[in-house]
Structure 1
Amino acid sequence: MRHILVALLFSLMFSNGAQAWTRAELADPFDASDLTPNEIRFLQAALALKGDYIGMIDGKWGAGSARGLKAYIRESGIDLGPGELPNLAPVALISDAIVTISNQGWSRYYFDFADLSFLSPQKTMTSKVSDNGLSLDFNDSVSSLSISLTSGNASRTSAFHQYALSNSVSKPYTVRKDRLVITSAKVFGGKTLYIRSDLMSAGNWSTILISSLDRDAGRLALVTGSILPHRGADLELPENGELATGVLAFLAAANDSEGATGNAPNPRENEGMVAAKPPSAPQDVQSSSGTGFAVAPEGLILTNNHVAGSCHKILVDGTPATLIGADEAFDLALVRVTGVTNLVTATFADAPAPLNSDVTVAGYPLAGLLSGLNVTRGSVTSIKGLGGDGSRMQISAPVQPGNSGGPVVDAYGHVVGVVVSKLDAKLVQDEIGDIPQNVNFAIRGEIAKLFLYQNGVTPRTSGEKDRLAPEMLAKQLQAATHFITCD
């Protein structure tokens, strides 16, 4: 591992620096004023990635950066003694973070359309233009981090921020200026959503939407803290600067210590430490099925992540489809049916479904036993899910295996939820001795709309209050609901 660190240091260092740290100077009190802005930026990036710093990656060492370094040392269990931290503290941080920063390719991405840039893990991120052509979406293959870049008028821009505010489960952070709007909110499902909009021209705004689960908060902090309204500087370490030479001195000292005790480094001792999970033994591929419904005419189908999120092959009504977005926390997935351009699209309600309101559920349960679309009716029995989960609601409309991913609509035919599960009656009976009746759950429509926005889809909404006859509801659902199989 030490040889890897040395190689990575030299691969990242290409600018000239001032003076170097010797082995003896590692014990001296750390003074950030000795470092260049590039070195401080690298330290701030490493602290953010470790989850110990929330602030700008700006090369200016302040109280927040100092607190972050102390927190990192404390959490790492490194005993550096009482008093001021020595130079060894930032050296230990860099030694710990540099492999991740290099292997994942953290570097600055420039969005020329909006003249905006930010740091991102470019070796692990995949990008694509949304199917409606309204956004450029990035998804991290090794974490829940996702980034979307889009633009639009003031009304569309305001909608992004309003969704974050309306779904916030704690006090949000906001900035409101004439040319800059920022909203950062903790939303349902243990996820943080950060939205920044910049005014580019009269009535036209650029917007960056960034989200992650709590476990990846450090990655989100690194991206959000690095956003600049211009190209900006990349991450780099001066070749002869204090940090780079300090790491080399630290490694040399550790190597001497091993040699003195006769413990030569084992070149295989760290193999597998950062390896991916071993592949499972081959298994027979089994088919499963579920339900989805159209959210855009261009073949876009919304369903559950547990229905379509891990398929080798997806079919929608027998037609091949591809997964274009998924969220494990919300249990939602978006798929695109190949070659379809004129699907009948569902309309979402513009407000949450109130308690005890009527709902209708459509889906394809128990495939092979039942045939055709199955429609059931019930009501909203709780505005929260199991254990007070605010991203779910409880409904009494009967659902069965295969209903997952189907639409839940109100009396006006507007989507207010997405079927996700039913309560395990046998498990509850074993626990309390009674069998629960019609305890079923749906993902709230507000969460589904937020997921669609994050994946570049603007859902159709309506506030019309014309009740539909049950027969008309069924006809409308039949046109927008689809059967999904997963192999």
Structure 2
Amino acid sequence: MNSDAAFLTMTFVVDIDEGGWRPVVLDRLGMNVAMPTSLMTVTDQSGTSTAWKHNHKELYVVTGRYSSDFLAKHHDFVESNASFRDEVYKVRDNTRWVTSSKNSKGSSYSRSEYINGAWSTVFITGDARSEPELGLMISSISTERATSLVPPTDGVLLRNARLLLEEMKASENTGTGSGEVGVSEERRRQPAAPNREPSDASGTGTGFLINTEGVLLTNAHVVDGCSSIKVNGHQANLLASSNTFDLAAISVPGAPLGEPLQFSTKSAGLNADITIAGYPLHGLLGGLNVGRGSISALKGLRGDEINLQISAPVQPGNSGGPAVDRFGNVVGVVVSKLDAVEIADLTGDIAQNVNFAVRGDLAKVFLSSNGIAFLEAKGDDPMDGEAIAQRLQQATHLVQCSG
């Protein structure tokens, strides 16, 4: 969807800018390769050969002009680094040699082009942590004119990103509720809207830790109009709020809040298992509650693309709690439940387990657009139910609002 493209574009452009990614023109070689120039240091330069090293990762680049004899030895060396023969990719022709290999420590790649009587070569090697940078560098190697990595300013990607940011800004000024951007007044008056009652009579909701700086994510309606916000009794500060997504970020500097949750790098799939955590009916029920269910639909009420429909049980006070997948990674933020009483009045039937969560992808858009750091999962290792509950227990906290 456009919101996914907007998020990917915004995060990509930020990473490109922060890393100083630029096409490095290798004039003597007749080639160019993109590098994070602000993070790379030249470690050796002699003749046509230049070597770079990443300042924070095991990532190395060597470029140079070589003879045919050296070319064969070099590519044989890259091939010999592979753990298994099926982890080697080779191209051999009169004007181009390519060798790629992988082992338990990382990957190596070399591309050589026969230009003006010699072999121009770019060699890149790195460990597993540097795979994203290594992949972008490899795909950028070219003998053509260097082009910018940033999408064109008049293209559809940056246009969608701007529209998303403008819509978020406009919603803050108009007070439009989550999931109702651009909805007519007539449609807003339709019955059976989700019940966003955030808490019980004491004014409570849920939040969960998203980084090591003491920042929690919750719903905007949980902290809306609060003169004081507390997390586990500690005073909290409101950092950012969006009525469009019904999300808010709050900080509790110095408070012991456990280990932050990580966001999934993948969108939640239909019928995927999820676990939610929160403080429903605080004062009536005792402490943190954990519930399980699945993704019932990839859209919310009336086709709303901000929310997912979930079957996990939601009660007042659950708002702002995490919804995690079977790997314990965040795929949504619990936001509301369908008004079962109103549905019963309209249809004569009681709706069961029709609840909603803000899509995790859009939660990342909200955080990124407000310059708030969050963690993403580095791998996918399934966890059992008890392990997931322990992870949620460490990161999920009671949010109290006073008017």
TM-score interval, smaller chain: 0.5 to 0.7
Judge conservation of contact 1:192–1:213 (CA < 8 Å) in 2: no
Instruction: Look up the match of 2:255.
Output: 340
Instruction: Look up the match of 2:169.
Output: 212
Q: What SS does structure 1 have at the residue aligned with 2:248?
A: strand
TM-score w.r.t. length of structure 1: 0.45
Instruction: Look up the match of 1:145.
Output: none
Whole-angstrom distance in 2 between the partners of 1:466 and 1:483: 28
* Counterparts in 2 of 1:343 and 1:456: CA distance versus 1, 3 Å: farther
Whole-angstrom distance in 2 between the partners of 1:329 and 1:349: 22
Q: What SS does structure 1 have at the residue aligned with 2:169?
A: strand
Whole-angstrom distance in 2 between the partners of 1:472 and 1:179: 41
Instruction: Look up the match of 1:114.
Output: none
Report the Cα offset of residue 355 of structure 1: 0.3
Alignment of 1:159-174 (within 5 A): none
2:303 aligned with 1:388:
yes
- What is the one-letter code of the residue matched to 2:18? G
Report the Cα offset of residue 310 of structure 1: 2.0
1:192 to 152, 163, 186: 163
2:287 aligned with 1:372:
yes
Report the Cα offset of residue 457 of structure 1: 1.8
* Counterparts in 2 of 1:413 and 1:431: CA distance versus 1, 3 Å: same
2:263 aligned with 1:293:
no
Report the Cα offset of residue 343 of structure 1: 4.0
Comparing 434-443 and 307-316, the one that deviates more: 307-316
Judge conservation of contact 1:404–1:421 (CA < 8 Å) in 2: yes
Whole-angstrom distance in 2 between the partners of 1:320 and 1:216: 27
Report the Cα offset of residue 465 of structure 1: 2.6
Alignment of 1:6-405 (within 5 A): 152-153=18-19, 154=21, 178=148, 181=151, 182=153, 183-186=157-160, 192-193=163-164, 212-213=169-170, 287-340=202-255, 343-405=258-320
Report the Cα offset of residue 211 of structure 1: 5.3
Whole-angstrom distance in 2 between the partners of 1:180 and 1:360: 38
Larger strand fraction of residues: 2
**Equivalences, count:** 236
Q: What SS does structure 1 have at the residue aligned with 2:260?
A: coil
Q: Give the unaligned 5+ runs of structure 2.
A: 1-13, 22-34, 37-145, 175-200
Whole-angstrom distance in 2 between the partners of 1:432 and 1:459: 42
Report the Cα offset of residue 443 of structure 1: 0.1
Whole-angstrom distance in 2 between the partners of 1:369 and 1:295: 28
- What is the one-letter code of the residue matched to 2:259? V
* Counterparts in 2 of 1:433 and 1:373: CA distance versus 1, 3 Å: same
1:466 to 366, 381, 386: 381
Give CA deviations for 1:325-362 in whole Å, capped at 9, x if unaligned.
00011000000113337741110100111000100000
State the superposition RMSD in angstroms: 2.9
Q: Give the unaligned 5+ runs of structure 1.
A: 1-147, 157-175, 195-208, 218-285
Q: What SS does structure 1 have at the residue aligned with 2:336?
A: strand
* Counterparts in 2 of 1:185 and 1:385: CA distance versus 1, 3 Å: farther
- What is the one-letter code of the residue matched to 1:387? R
Report the Cα offset of residue 461 of structure 1: 1.1
Instruction: Look up the match of 2:121.
Output: none
Q: What SS does structure 1 have at the residue aligned with 2:335?
A: strand
Judge conservation of contact 2:216–2:249 (CA < 8 Å) in 1: yes
* Counterparts in 2 of 1:481 and 1:427: CA distance versus 1, 3 Å: same
* Counterparts in 2 of 1:380 and 1:178: CA distance versus 1, 3 Å: same
Judge conservation of contact 2:207–2:321 (CA < 8 Å) in 1: yes
Whole-angstrom distance in 1 between the partners of 2:256 and 2:18: 23
Judge conservation of contact 1:298–1:343 (CA < 8 Å) in 2: no
Q: What SS does structure 2 have at the residue aligned with 1:348?
A: coil
Whole-angstrom distance in 2 between the partners of 1:387 and 1:452: 26
Whole-angstrom distance in 2 between the partners of 1:361 and 1:393: 13
Percent of aligned pairs with the same amino acid: 45
* Counterparts in 2 of 1:442 and 1:178: CA distance versus 1, 3 Å: same
Whole-angstrom distance in 1 between the partners of 2:346 and 2:173: 35
Whole-angstrom distance in 2 between the partners of 1:210 and 1:430: 34
Whole-angstrom distance in 2 between the partners of 1:290 and 1:448: 17
* Counterparts in 2 of 1:469 and 1:429: CA distance versus 1, 3 Å: same
Q: What SS does structure 2 have at the residue aligned with 1:296?
A: coil
Whole-angstrom distance in 2 between the partners of 1:412 and 1:402: 25
Judge conservation of contact 1:192–1:214 (CA < 8 Å) in 2: no
Report the Cα offset of residue 192 of structure 1: 2.1
- What is the one-letter code of the residue matched to 2:158? S
Give CA deviations for 1:64-96 in whole Å, capped at 9, x if unaligned.
xxxxxxxxxxxxxxxxxxxxxxxxxxxxxxxxx
- What is the one-letter code of the residue matched to 2:345? D
* Counterparts in 2 of 1:377 and 1:323: CA distance versus 1, 3 Å: same
Report the Cα offset of residue 372 of structure 1: 1.4
Q: What SS does structure 2 have at the residue aligned with 1:345?
A: coil
Give CA deviations for 1:232-260 in whole Å, capped at 9, x if unaligned.
xxxxxxxxxxxxxxxxxxxxxxxxxxxxx
- What is the one-letter code of the residue matched to 1:152? E
Whole-angstrom distance in 2 between the partners of 1:470 and 1:215: 38
Q: What SS does structure 2 have at the residue aligned with 1:192?
A: helix
- What is the one-letter code of the residue matched to 1:193? L
Whole-angstrom distance in 2 between the partners of 1:479 and 1:214: 33
Report the Cα offset of residue 458 of structure 1: 2.9
* Counterparts in 2 of 1:325 and 1:214: CA distance versus 1, 3 Å: closer
Judge conservation of contact 1:297–1:342 (CA < 8 Å) in 2: no
Report the Cα offset of residue 193 of structure 1: 3.1
